[in-house]
Amino acid sequence: MKIWFLFLFLLLGLTTRAQTPSPSRSHRPTVADHTRAVAAFQQELNAEYRNPEASPLTPEDRATFTGLPFFPVNYAACVEARFVPDSLSVPFAMQTSTSRRPMYRKYGEVYFTLSGQPLKLTVYQNQELMKKPGFEDYLFVPFTDLTNGHASYGGGRYLDVRIGQIQGGTLVLDFNRAYNPFCAYSGRYSCPVPPVENRLPVAIQAGVKSPH
């Protein structure tokens, strides 16, 4: 009888553990990994701006360029967002700083919390860029926040992500990777204007600051 009760006790224990959901794994990098990744991003961006083949800077500005101004690395601005795809949207002409109207499609929405506020951003896919080798999975997140016109560029900033970064319905948005449109450095460029739905009511002190 004792053996039977012992067997029943062990069986119930195994059943309970099997039905208890394990904690969900965080997709965010550790603080140390995040710090290294942001440092690498900043180095790559600075290298791009020094490169005359890729830089939006004029030759005069590039001659005195020592590096972009960045906010201090902000781990809290690296957030896990719930991604909701949109397979029914149709391409539309996105407003830019000029008369140019490139075609984009709403790829989905991301829902996240930052500075204690629930927020949402729309993720877009450029219909021309997706046809170019190496950019088939490129996604675009233009946005504005309450630092625009003060600590950051008044026309808003951009985030680039890849479709492969969406894992299990989750996308890590790292605003430390937010960068300025080329229009922040020269009027010869045509830059997408962040749509109304991507205007965030919080100050995001992360990423590239205003160049002025």
Its pTM stands at 0.86
- Say if CB 81 and CB 139 are below 8 A apart: no
pLDDT at 27: 85
* Matching residue, tokens 């075609």: 103
Q: Where are the domains of the chain?
A: 71-198
Which amino acid does the sequence have at 126? Answer: N
Q: Copy the structure tokens of residue 177.
A: 């990777």
What is the residue-level pLDDT of the chain in tens, covering all 212 positions?
Answer: 444 433 333 333 433 333 333 345 678 999 999 999 999 999 999 999 999 999 999 999 999 999 999 999 999 999 999 999 998 999 999 999 999 999 999 999 999 999 999 999 999 999 999 999 999 999 999 999 999 999 999 999 999 999 999 999 999 999 999 999 999 999 999 999 999 999 999 999 999 999 87
